[in-house]
Amino acid sequence: MIHKEIVIVGGGPAGLSAGIEAAKYGAEVLIIDENHLVGGQLFKQIHKFFGSREHKAGMRGFSIGRDLLEEINKSENIELWLNSEVIGINKEKELLVVPKDQGVVEIKAEKIILATGAIEKSIYFPGWDLPGVMGAGAAQTMMNVHRILPGKKVLMIGSGNVGVIISYQMIQGGAEVVGILEASSTLGGYGVHTAKVTRAGVPFYRPYTIKRAIGEDCVEGAEIVQIDSQWQPVEGTEVILEVDLICMATGFNPLTELAWMSGCQFTYIPELGGQVPTHNDRLETTVKGIYIAGDISGIEEASTAMEEGKLAGVHAAHSLGYLSKEKEKVERNKIWERLNDLRSGPMDIKRKNGKELMFLKYNEGCIND
Amino acid sequence: MIDDSNLKTKGFPTLEELKRLGTYPSDEAFMKGPIAVIECIEEIPCNPCEETCIKGAIKIGKPITNLPRLNTTKCSGCSFCISSCPGLAIYIKDYTYSEKEALIIFPYEFLPLPKVNEEVIAVDREGQSICKGSVIKVNNNKANDNTVLISMVYSKEYFHDIVAMKRL
């Protein structure tokens, strides 16, 4: 069995930031990612980020990813395993890993940071299994990573930031976005994003949902219908749109399998995206020495994921003796100030409330073992 | 933000909404020459415009979710703020450009890019074609990081309506 100080599962914005932060203080870090390159969503994100300078605002996501990767490569304390899947984990912080083309490797970690991210949610409708129906994230990956435009005429379902940002990127990629559906009474995304797709000629349909995808072997169209306040279809309001791609941007669930397997307690907090490992304000779970960061701890943005990664990284390094209690507190407070900034507006307040509820639950019910 | 606003139901702010929130420059301010128009009317955590403005004309302060406020007497219309805005919500407008024409400098992130002297179609906040526009400058400086600044002149008649051009 290989021994490691800090093992981070997931090399997205949270995992990379956690690794950089912990290594900065001298801790030895192993980052494991199942993909062929790290960066998570960052390398798909060709838009400029919000926030302040400390949050790398104004930079495009892939530039942030490139900078993080550079720091990882520069650090002597960070090891990177790509194409490697973690298939098992237990309370003793032992991991089973399958690196590509090798057998199973066993690792005993002193600290683990789970930064496994999230998975897109689907909605189901007749024809949803036709080729040409996909998650908005899949379309974004095809376009921005693999340089393949998955459709020419696109229907987007969901007007949250993901739906509008990816719609905008589809237009940049040369597609026409025929419409964006929103089932709620108000549009979900930031107004600046909805405004930029509107002036690019994209109509919003609200409150609308999809009735069916049309097509024999692939998507050739979509029938959409207005819904009432009870979310019931309003007869006679159906519209048929000629599209060859239907994208769903209908939310995310935290990717929590490893956390379940490790024996962490969970708390159900809808504001954070459902069942989330119970954690404190250092992002430690109810299993001492196992931390979480990023979307697994509640669905948010890459900027908050990076700050959370730093938070987990600082505390993990501190608990290994790499930085003093006082220093850890100073660093933690700085990160919390930035996190509170990011969660301070009316658009983001529900996540702040969700987090506060979570810390309360942790303090109520936590029995560290 | 009220939920039945045009912004939250149709996706774009109306001129009335912008004016109501008090961040839209006054007619008096527009008469002085080129100034920035910041159509950022939701309290989101973001402040690169404030940091970029070398004249100190844009104020957000703390908390970071404050709406940006423009000091129109300090703003020279230099256009540095445009590409710094991740929301593409800032443009420069100059009512004094010429007797019959106004100037707008707006962010543009589509290909192909227009050429200087090219005639294009100017669009409003809803994306509707309103009038002809003429491109007089295409600024793709490295510092803009691929948010290209297009300078376009158009009829003063539609001064407040025009925010961009139709994609080529």
pTM of the predicted protein model: 0.95
Same structural domain for residues A56 and A151?
A: no
For residue B142, with 0-12 CB atoms within 10 Å meaning exposed, 13-18 middle and 19 or more buried, which class applies? exposed
At B25, is the secondary structure helix, strand, or coil? coil
Nearest residue to A225 via CA among A188, A183, A164, A194: A183
Half-sphere exposure (Cβ direction) of B68: Cα atoms closer than 13 Å: 27
Do A27 and A175 lie in a common domain? no
Domains identified in chain B, total number: 1
Label residue A366 by pLDDT band (50, 70, 90): low
Distances in Å between the alpha carbon of A109 and those of A2, A104, A106, A168, A325? 8, 16, 10, 42, 22
Domain that holds residue A79: 2-119+252-366
Contact A57 B65 (CB under 8 A): no
Q: What is the pLDDT of residue A365?
A: 73
A160 and A308, same domain (yes or no): no
The better pLDDT of the pair B123, A366 is held by: B123
Q: Is the pLDDT of residue B18 over 80?
A: yes
Pick the residue from chain A with its C-alpha nearest to B124.
A199
The domain boundary residue, chosen from A249, A268, A295: A249
pLDDT tens-place string over residues A47-75? 999 988 777 888 999 999 999 999 999 99
Name the interface residues of B facing A (CB cutoff 8 Å).
1, 3, 7-13, 39-48, 51-52, 63-65, 84-89, 109-111, 123-127, 145-147, 163-164, 166-167
List, for residues A206-235, the tens digit of each pLDDT value: 999 999 999 999 999 999 999 998 999 999
> With 80 as the cut, is the pLDDT of residue A368 above it?
no
- What CATH code is carried by the domain that includes residue A128? 3.50.50.60
A291 and A345 belong to one structural domain: yes
* Same-domain status, A165 and A222: yes
Give the structural domain span for B44. 5-167
What pLDDT does B22 receive?
A: 82
Looking at the fold, whether A289 and A263 belong to one and the same domain comes out as yes
Instruction: Give contacts of A186 with chain B, Cβ < 8 Å.
Output: 3, 8-9
* Binary contact (B166, A201; C-beta < 8 A): yes
Min Cα–Cα distance to chain B from A263, Å: 36
Q: Which of A186, A216, A249 is the last residue of a domain?
A: A249
Residue B141: band (very low, low, confident or very high) from pLDDT cuts 50, 70, 90: very high
Both A111 and A150 in one domain: the answer is no
> What's the pLDDT score for residue B2?
45
Least confidently predicted of A243-252, B2-11, B66-75: B2-11
Pairing assessment for the beta strands A208-214 and A105-114 based on DSSP bridges: unpaired
DSSP string, A29-44: EEEE-SSSSS-TTGGG
- Cα(B90)–Cα(A252) distance, rounded to whole angstroms? 31
To the nearest whole Å, the CA of B124 is away from the closest chain A CA by: 7
Domain count, chain A: 2
| Residue A83 near chain B (CB below 8 Å) | no
- Considering the domain architecture, whether residues A269 and A326 belong to the same structural domain is answered as yes
Cβ within 8 Å of residue B168, ≥6 positions away: B110, B112, B113, B114, B120
Say whether both A243 and A353 belong to one domain.
no
CB A54 within 8 A of CB A113: no
Residue A289 CA to residue A318 CA, distance in Å, equals 11
**Domain-ending residue, one of A216, A249, A282:** A249
Q: Tell me which of B7, B120, B123, B150 to substitute to probe the interface with A (most A C-beta atoms closer than 10 Å).
A: B7
User: What mean pLDDT is predicted for residues B48-77?
Assistant: 94
Q: pLDDT category, A350, cuts 50, 70, 90? A: confident
Best mutation target, A156, A196, A208, to test chain B (most B CBs within 10 A): A196
- Angle between helices A302-319 and A325-342 in degrees, nearest 10: 170
pLDDT at B1 over 60: no
* Residue of B46, B58, B167 to mutate when probing chain A, most A C-beta within 10 A: B46
Residue A184 and residue A68 share a domain? no
